[in-house]
Structure 1
Amino acid sequence: MGSTDSAGTSGVNDLLLAQVREAYGRVAYTHKTHEKQADLCFQKHRRQQWFLVGLTVVSSGTFLASLLGLVLDQSWSALVTSFIALAVTALNLGSKTFNFGEETQRHRETAAKMWNLRESYQSLIVDIQSKSIPLEAARAARDGLQEEAFAIYSDAPRTTGKAYLRAQEALKEREDLTFSTREIDLLLPVELRSTGERNRSGDQ
């Protein structure tokens, strides 16, 4: 009877572990997607600012009017100067409507929250696999993480397909979330490295 109960509990743990692992995968992708979206928004913000600064400098100086006066007649010179001034005004209004700087910050904040959630899911996976947490406690932890994920998703800004593709490339091809044993050892003091790496350092 005891062995049957043990087998049944093991099966439930396997199902719970599979569910938590899938949730971890979704969160990991969301975290990386928001990181990439923040990068894309920052690039747009930087281009927008440089373009605005350039047009402002050109339109505010007497150099432009003098230069245009040499190339064009007075009426065309005034028209081009007015057009550039109008472009600066439009870009100023556009920067308030499409605030890429603020959008960048929102995606970075969401990515930071997702990073913490991802690490919490990873810790729960370790606890379940090592059988160091009772089943009911694991279920309670899963439910708590689901509620936390719902709150973050509800307030998260939208991402684009381009950001998702960049996240997919980073996770699948460049393996951003994984490290070899040697890579981790090189980041740690000798005393905290794996046995083989400590021996190798000692031989050197």
Structure 2
Amino acid sequence: MNKKLLATVRFYFAQCVFMNSIHYKAYNRLKGVQERNRNIVLGIASTTLILIILQIIGLEFEYENLLSVLSFCGIVLTGASLILELYNKEDISEIKSQHRNIGEEYKILRDQFISLIEEIMSSISSEEELRMKFKKLQNLYSQIGRYSPTTTGTDYSEAQSGLGLGKNDNEEFTWSNEEIDRFLPVELRIS
């Protein structure tokens, strides 16, 4: 068993676990933003509908002062609605979907790295064959990262927390054997 190859494969496995978690945290963050925006639009639409009903009542009873106030409020709400639409011009649904899809890609790759770890530890394939499989998976990892949507520091911190990792400001993207082992089945752990 080649210990250096195993260590490298375990590192990429842990990276896939972490990247999967980050993209799902980003998905959840955007889902929350989308829900908040939906509630704001619903609130504006509901208030506008109430104002229209009150304006009809005001016209019926000829309340000019009430009509003036309601008209002003209606204009303000229409302006707020337009500003909200301009602010939310970018379609969050598409970016949210991209995060989910990338998270799934990392999950698939994670499972392939688990299989490769098992194969290395079992010594059932030649070292040359194992290295070729690793290079293929490493290339896939790079391709997924290249086309991934951007995540935030909050997504990163929440992924760390969700995986039970300590927050380290001087992090150098290293993984301890104990941290990696927490993500693996008992039979594939080395600590």
Calculate the TM-score normalised by the size of structure 1.
Answer: 0.72
Q: Percent identity?
A: 24
Counterparts of 1:104-183 in structure 2 under 5 Å? 104-172=96-164, 177=183
1:84-143 alpha-carbon deviations (Å, 9 max, x no partner)? 01111222233322x222221110000000000111111101100111121001100110
**Aligned to 2:71, which of 75, 78, 81?**
78
Segments of 5+ residues of structure 1 without an aligned counterpart are: 1-9, 182-204
Deviation of 1:159 (Å): 0.7
Q: Does 1:96 align with 2:89?
A: yes
Secondary structure of the corresponding residue to residue 124 of structure 2: coil
* 8 Å CA contact retained: 1:68, 1:77: no
Matches of 1:16 and 1:104 in 2, distance apart?
A: 35
Matches of 1:85 and 1:16 in 2, distance apart?
A: 62
Matches of 2:58 and 2:32 in 1, distance apart?
A: 32
Number of aligned positions between the proteins = 167
CA 1:67–1:90 in structure 2 vs 1: closer, same or farther (change >3 Å)? farther
Matches of 1:179 and 1:131 in 2, distance apart?
A: 18
Segments of 5+ residues of structure 2 without an aligned counterpart are: 166-178
How much is the aligned-residue C-alpha RMSD, in angstroms?
2.7
Match of 1:33 in 2: 22
Higher relative contact order (CA 8 A, sep 6+): 2
Q: Does 1:63 align with 2:53?
A: yes
**Which letter maps to 2:87?**
G
Matches of 1:180 and 1:22 in 2, distance apart?
A: 17
Matches of 1:91 and 1:163 in 2, distance apart?
A: 24
CA 1:179–1:91 in structure 2 vs 1: closer, same or farther (change >3 Å)? farther
